[in-house]
Structure 1
Amino acid sequence: MSRVLLNLSSPPAGVQGGIARFGIELSRRLVLRGRHDYTFRSQWSADQLPPELAKGAAIEVIPPIEKYLQDLVRTWARGPRTHPASKFDLLFNLDSLGFATGGRRRMTIVHDIYFCSVPEMFSRSARMKERLIHRIVLGRSHSIVGISEATSSEVRRHFPASAARVRTVLSDSMMNDVIPGALPPGLVRGGYVLAVAKVLPNKNFGLLAEAFARIAPDFPDLKLVHVGSDAGETFESALAPRGLSGRLGRLRGIDDPTLAALYRDALCLVVPSLYEGFCLPLLEAQRFGCPTVFSERSATGEVGGEGGIPFDPTDVDALEAILRRVAADPALRADMVARGHANARRFSWDATVDGYERAIDDVLEGR
């Protein structure tokens, strides 16, 4: 039985971000299959992890990361001593901020490369630092896994020296077993357009805010609900000048049953992103029976597939027209729900874990 270190070093303990949730769930499922002898390395203590993972793998807890570049350099310098080939057959980085040394072989998951694809999100120094880290970690990984074909393509384009070692394993949602709860007060079924994500430049939520503001006078009972933080008041700044502040709902820190209810009862979910590494909200919405309208670019078009209506995320007129159609046509919405369910069946945790186990076997055998 091969000895595999599952390395999830960057997410802070207890913070349920997307990478942390994915890495922990993937690790739990790999451990349950029991094909290898696993160690799980992270900032999370055993009592913060799912019991199957905490009991089925050796747990290595690391201190909080204060300056990740310096910490990474120390990890790389110490890797051959702290995690040598005599102890680990594979060091499996569950995100890109991982081992570049140590172990007999190394494999790394890439979730996105925003610093290349959306450079305006980063300062020049931050871009240089991220590119350096990725060049070193990916350059010294024997296998690289992109979580979507779009992400794999971006890795090959921006890191051509590593292109031959890149493969794709599609992800899946962590909400598959969630039972929807009750809607937050003030919301009714079909009475709101939904957006889910922290507002960042790549999310392009200003386009959605403008499109909603245009259709709002013709659909006076319709609201726009945003789940996530919006430090720059992107939505409010577009709606307030038109007297539409009262039509904006803002939610943060909600639990999974509430999010599932929001998906289930929304008029539609809109994802206007310019770039995504995967886009879990799109898959989650389709699973819970929500009509989806999504950007045709990068991974959103790939994940959304035939399950909704794609659009050019630079064309506000196109999004406005789609929202008018969706709001006015119940038959169209029903068709979108049916197509969304069919599309979501392309993704499964069984297929995801199968893909990673094949990747692990291949890298261990030198393929």
Structure 2
Amino acid sequence: MTMIVALNDFIGARGVSGSSMGATQVARALAGGGTDVYRMTVGREPQSRVGRLAGMLRWDFVYAPRTASRIDACCIVHCTNTGMGARHLPSIVIMHDTMVLDHPSLFDRGYNAYARMTFGISVRAARVVVTPSEHSKNRILARWPETRIVVIPWPTQSTRPNANHPGYEERMQKPTVLAVASTDRHKRLDIVVNTVSTVRRMSGIDFGLTLVARPGNAESAVQRAIGRVDPEHEWIEIVRGISSRHLSDLYDNAFCLIVASLDEGFCLPALEAASHGLPVVHTARGALAEVMGGHPAYGRDYAADEARLLESMISICDRSAWESSRERSIERAGVATGPEQFRDRWRLLVKEVGS
């Protein structure tokens, strides 16, 4: 008998993001194998902030569970931190991280209030909480110790053994640093801009910087940082609405990926870059060290992160260091969760919860 799984993808209405890509990954994993996926996403959100928050509440806690019950789903999967089931309808909540609770000053006050109101309710009502990293699991357990949590990392393909990616010499012909993130405060793209500017000055290398950036709550700060160091827009480019093929090309030809995040629940772009054999320079905050290897950064000396990024980038300007960093990236991609493992773990979990 075919099982129906309801997938709450409210976040998909806001365009391409890590969360919406995660919903797509789960939908693909569950499709087939005796499972029909009923994906729910809102057509358009209200324009006002209050309207959006009210809409999220109605969707996650009323509309989505009622719809899932009406179609006789075996369970409902909420893809972005919040939501409930219903009578005879168990829920699985994907909680990417608890950053909004851990670093409230970095987020909108309305979203802060929404998170405080709904995260705990959603976790306690869930049959299972799924999260992509041990780091996020520990943060969730610190708040809700009795929660049943399953860690299922986001999948990526290993680097093909015979992949013909450009080497150091080819990339140095037009060396470009790549950052893939929103312009939200916790992503700290202004630090990325400052770091690459300093590396250009210290190394004498004419690095370009490509920001694949979805607008966020620190857009103006990022624009100011760009205006200070590149007022004529000679070496910094912002790319919006990028296709997966275009992003893949950028990974294949960039000098390195830089991740300046203050915290991360996983950071799929870092692993995607690694699967393309690209060195990854990062802060080691949150789950970054878990995903990419190395020693995690602890404490609240966030000012030291810029110095760490600068030191790491300067070091890989040397060919042998760049190649060593590339090998470490390839190694991390090789031990990451593959699409088949991801599919099998999700199918087993849904079968258990929905039976």
TM-score interval, normalised by the smaller of the two chains: 0.7 to 0.9
Instruction: Decide which of 226, 234, 237 is 1:249's aligned counterpart.
Output: 237
Q: CA deviation at 1:271?
A: 0.6
Alpha-carbon distance change, 176 to 137 in structure 1, aligned in 2, over 3 angstroms: farther
Report whether the alignment pairs 1:22 with 2:22: yes
| Correspondence for 2:185 | 201
| Correspondence for 1:46 | none
Q: Which moved more, 1:63-72 or 1:355-364?
A: 63-72
Q: CA deviation at 1:90?
A: 1.7
The residue matched to 1:355 in structure 2 has which SS? helix
Instruction: Decide which of 160, 167, 171 is 2:154's aligned counterpart.
Output: 171
Instruction: Decide which of 200, 210, 220 is 1:225's aligned counterpart.
Output: 210
Q: Which moved more, 1:264-273 or 1:23-32?
A: 23-32
TM-score by length of 1: 0.79
RMSD between aligned alpha carbons? 3.4
- Aligned residue type for 2:250: L
The residue matched to 2:316 in structure 1 has which SS? helix
Q: CA deviation at 1:13?
A: 4.9
Q: Distance in 1 between matches of 2:45 and 2:157?
A: 25
Alpha-carbon distance change, 23 to 174 in structure 1, aligned in 2, over 3 angstroms: farther
Q: 1:253-285: CA deviations, max 9, x gaps?
A: 222222222212222111111111211110111
Contact 2:13 2:43 in 1 (8 A): no
Q: CA deviation at 1:242?
A: 7.8
Give the % identical residues: 21
| Correspondence for 2:346 | 356
| Correspondence for 2:81 | 96
- Aligned residue type for 1:114: M
Q: Which moved more, 1:342-351 or 1:92-101?
A: 92-101
1:118-267 matched pairs, under 5 angstroms: 118-160=103-145, 163-173=146-156, 191-217=175-201, 218-229=203-214, 231-234=219-222, 236-237=224-225, 240=228, 245-267=233-255
Alpha-carbon distance change, 242 to 198 in structure 1, aligned in 2, over 3 angstroms: closer
Alpha-carbon distance change, 189 to 228 in structure 1, aligned in 2, over 3 angstroms: farther
Instruction: Decide which of 273, 278, 303 is 1:285's aligned counterpart.
Output: 273
Instruction: Decide which of 270, 279, 298 is 2:258's aligned counterpart.
Output: 270
Q: Distance in 2 between matches of 1:325 and 1:355?
A: 39
Q: 1:331-364: CA deviations, max 9, x gaps?
A: 1111221221121122211111222223223334
The residue matched to 1:232 in structure 2 has which SS? helix
Contact 1:293 1:311 in 2 (8 A): no
Report whether the alignment pairs 1:319 with 2:309: yes
- Aligned residue type for 1:111: H
| Correspondence for 2:93 | 108
Q: Distance in 2 between matches of 1:278 and 1:207?
A: 20
Q: Which moved more, 1:289-298 or 1:90-99?
A: 90-99
Q: Distance in 2 between matches of 1:130 and 1:250?
A: 30
Q: CA deviation at 1:69?
A: 4.8
Q: CA deviation at 1:291?
A: 0.8
Q: Which has the higher contact order (CA 8 A, sep 6+)?
A: 2
Q: Which moved more, 1:285-294 or 1:85-94?
A: 85-94
Q: CA deviation at 1:176?
A: 8.8
- Aligned residue type for 2:132: I
Contact 2:157 2:338 in 1 (8 A): no
- Aligned residue type for 1:151: S
Contact 1:8 1:20 in 2 (8 A): no
* Number of corresponding residues: 335
Instruction: Decide which of 319, 322, 325 is 1:333's aligned counterpart.
Output: 322
Q: CA deviation at 1:297?
A: 1.3
- Aligned residue type for 2:182: K
| Correspondence for 1:55 | none
Q: Distance in 1 between matches of 2:71 and 2:243?
A: 43
- Aligned residue type for 2:143: H
Alpha-carbon distance change, 176 to 134 in structure 1, aligned in 2, over 3 angstroms: farther
Alpha-carbon distance change, 232 to 364 in structure 1, aligned in 2, over 3 angstroms: same
**Structure 1 stretches of 5 or more lacking a match?**
44-61
